[in-house]
Structure 1
Amino acid sequence: MTQDQKLEKTKDIVQSITFNESAVDVVLFTGCGTSFYLAIAAARYYQAVTGEFAIAVPASELFLHTETYILKNKKYLIIGISRSGTTSEIIMSLEHLKGDEKIRTMAVTCNGGTPMAKLTDELIALNDISEKSVVMTQSFSNMLYALQLYAAKISRRTDMMEQLEKIPALVKSALGNGKQLLQVTEDATKKRFIFLGSGAYNGLAKEATLKLKEMTQTECESYSNLEFRHGPISIVDHETVVILFTQNETKEYDQALIKDIQKLGGFVVVIGIVSKELQADLILNLSNQVDDLNRLVEAVPYFQLIAYQSAIFKGCNPDKPRNLTQVVNLS
């Protein structure tokens, strides 16, 4: 199946599941690596759509520092995210919290018959997403999309659901727009990459950084848009590319930030809905058919293509990065 077809399948799976809607005080999203960055985006999306308090926590923190995140007088829904369903820290966290009557758990995974799934009360299993690559790409997009659909469904936000239903077609279109990025990914003078995103897009910025590091071992970092001025902007020079996710809430400030980066020699790529007034070195316009929150998955192919194209240009294998395995197991 193509990526848009897999997203359609994901939509059908989530829409067919009946979820427990018992009230909780906190919805806690957790994962490791890519799955944790996915958790950041999903938690911020969930809170915005449902109006319920949601946070993202690395899975290891839940068993290493339980009292820092789990309060005895609160009820929790803990949503664990893992492509494999066998990630050590996820399993350890779920086992550590199992039996607490104030904690309900859900697994979001691409492998439904795994230990993680068996430890949780509820399950979103996207078994059609069977990546051979060590690097998470389709699994990231589909699990994020599933969690957006989940939030829209339990909040009964038909307006959000209608927008989300447009995403598979928009992703198919985005995957065909990668040639524009070659001026960045095939320029050997571009040696440092910085991704900027705020709100739910901060999770995407962190994941974009990880993808590029995994596939190419390139020096790269991520920040919230306006936080970049507070120190990190000092590293910008003519070898620097800054990829900025713009949104309606940030557009008023993004142009000034872009100008500051360009004055220091940086090359700026903007991804989002861009007004005619905004100027950058490369602009990748997203669809205006959906709002900023709902087009998260539409933005994903662009940063994944940056990593993939850079890897090919450098002669790296994007599917088998050095020092990495598909599943991380603690020995």
Structure 2
Amino acid sequence: MHAMTKTVPELLGVPEAELEASHAIWTAREIAQQPRLLRRTHALIADLHAQLQAFAAPIANDPAARVILTGAGTSAYIGQCLAPLLDRALAARVDAVPTTDLVCAPQLYLDPAQPLLLISFGRSGNSPESIAAVELTESLVGDVRHLVVTCNAQGKLATAPVRQAMTVTLPEETHDTSFAMTSSFSCMMYAALAALLPAGALDARIAPIAQATEAVIQDALPLLQSLANARHDRVVYLGSGLFQGLAREATLKLGELTNGAVATCYDSPLGFRHGPKTFVTAKTLVVVFVSNDPYTRRYDHDLIDELRRDGVAARVIEISARPRSDDADTLAVPGLAQAADVDLLWPYVAAAQIYAFLHARVRGVTPDNPNPAGIVNRVVQGVRLYALES
């Protein structure tokens, strides 16, 4: 008998037919494809690496110069995840400045006399602020180079008329069809890191990164589904160092995919005590992205333990590549116990993406288009741009 049973294709533990019917198929597919597309992104950047280094080097290797990582929303958070690390890795100063800040107050962020490498991230490459940021830096900064990292070769960002530009176009599959950015975030982030680190720096690391991300996608579903089923009405994401940018992305994913049904808050574990901790109620889930750094993680653990002792939050979950225990409140990421924190960004964000996806479904929201009324849009609308008076 049992030779007859056909396996029903599933994504994230849900039959594909059900995902199709509930407008969730694209989000599920795009989350699930990340391990494969990270490998493809690695190969793509390896092929382009010599060109990328030659293009970036005059700025990146100059201690008097500056690199700005920019984008809007999720594309801005790529920069916030990578900037602290890249600032240490490159001679130039590296900052993350969202396009949404650059455009409304360029005089605060741009020095006309300082050589600049503007690294622009864009899924569609059509966000009005992305184009405006490129145009403003082009007109205001004497020596500027533009490195565009995008998922859409036809986007305006990829074809902007500037003096010195190089565009990295990621595989078409990363140009997420879903409302929320998932594989576009992870692959643009990987591309920028691989492009700016020395050749081969990630060659031995891509397999463990992709495998750990796959393990989260395959094995963390029971825990993440149980958290989604609890329908917490408030969720806090906390992370130290690079993971503060990731905490911000995690809160945005949850807000987007649940169409604002869940109140969210992000901070660093140390920062959380300075007031934001009042956000925690009996219906609040707290999730902490734990650092692998032995010094930093002590601060992470202290706050986790304190929140559990307080007994206010409904649940405190630690996501960790070096788990302290195998209890039900730990999401263990395998195979990266000795990894640098930056390598953990991909499996950690996958957990947050899946939780947001499952939580949306529990609340009856359609993840592929969570806001059918169009109050928010996949590519931002309603932005009026103004000329800068010289």
Does residue 356 of structure 2 align to residue 307 of structure 1?
A: yes
TM-score (norm 1): 0.92
Counterpart of 1:273 in structure 2 is: 321
Matches within 5 A, 1:254-293: 254-262=300-308, 263-266=310-313, 267-276=315-324, 282-286=329-333, 287-288=336-337, 290-293=339-342
User: 1:226 is matched by which residue type in structure 2?
Assistant: L
User: 2:240 is matched by which residue type in structure 1?
Assistant: S
Query: Cα distance, 1:280 vs. partner?
Result: 7.3
- Counterpart CA distance in 1 for 2:112 and 2:337 is 44
- Counterpart CA distance in 1 for 2:311 and 2:94 is 38
- 1:295 equivalent among 330, 344, 355: 344
User: 1:211 is matched by which residue type in structure 2?
Assistant: K
RMSD of aligned C-alpha atoms? 2.0
Query: Cα distance, 1:246 vs. partner?
Result: 0.9
- 1:328 equivalent among 373, 380, 387: 380
Query: Cα distance, 1:300 vs. partner?
Result: 1.3
Secondary structure at the counterpart of residue 185 of structure 2: helix
- Counterpart CA distance in 2 for 1:88 and 1:40 is 20
Secondary structure at the counterpart of residue 29 of structure 1: strand
Does residue 32 of structure 2 align to residue 6 of structure 1?
A: no
Q: Deviations over 1:258-291 (max 9, x none)?
A: 1221214211111122353x69761112232532
- Counterpart CA distance in 2 for 1:273 and 1:48 is 23
Gaps of 5+ in 1: none
Secondary structure at the counterpart of residue 133 of structure 1: coil
Q: Deviations over 1:81-133 (max 9, x none)?
A: 11001110000111122254311111111002322112260111113213211
Secondary structure at the counterpart of residue 230 of structure 1: coil
Gaps of 5+ in 2: 1-28, 385-390
Q: Which shifted more, 292-301 or 164-173?
A: 164-173
Matches within 5 A, 1:244-259: 244-247=288-291, 248=293, 249-259=295-305
Q: Deviations over 1:21-74 (max 9, x none)?
A: 213411100111111111211222322333542111110322322221111331
Query: Cα distance, 1:148 vs. partner?
Result: 1.6
Q: Which shifted more, 309-318 or 253-262?
A: 253-262
Q: Deviations over 1:128-163 (max 9, x none)?
A: 2132111111111111111121122xx34x454422
Counterpart of 1:117 in structure 2 is: 158
Does residue 251 of structure 2 align to residue 209 of structure 1?
A: yes
User: 2:265 is matched by which residue type in structure 1?
Assistant: E
Counterpart of 1:150 in structure 2 is: 195
TM-score (norm 2): 0.79
Query: Cα distance, 1:295 vs. partner?
Result: 2.0
Q: Contact 2:123/2:175 (CA < 8 Å) preserved in 1?
A: no
Counterpart of 1:79 in structure 2 is: 119
Q: Contact 2:148/2:157 (CA < 8 Å) preserved in 1?
A: yes
Counterpart of 1:193 in structure 2 is: 235
User: 1:312 is matched by which residue type in structure 2?
Assistant: R
- Counterpart CA distance in 1 for 2:284 and 2:268 is 17
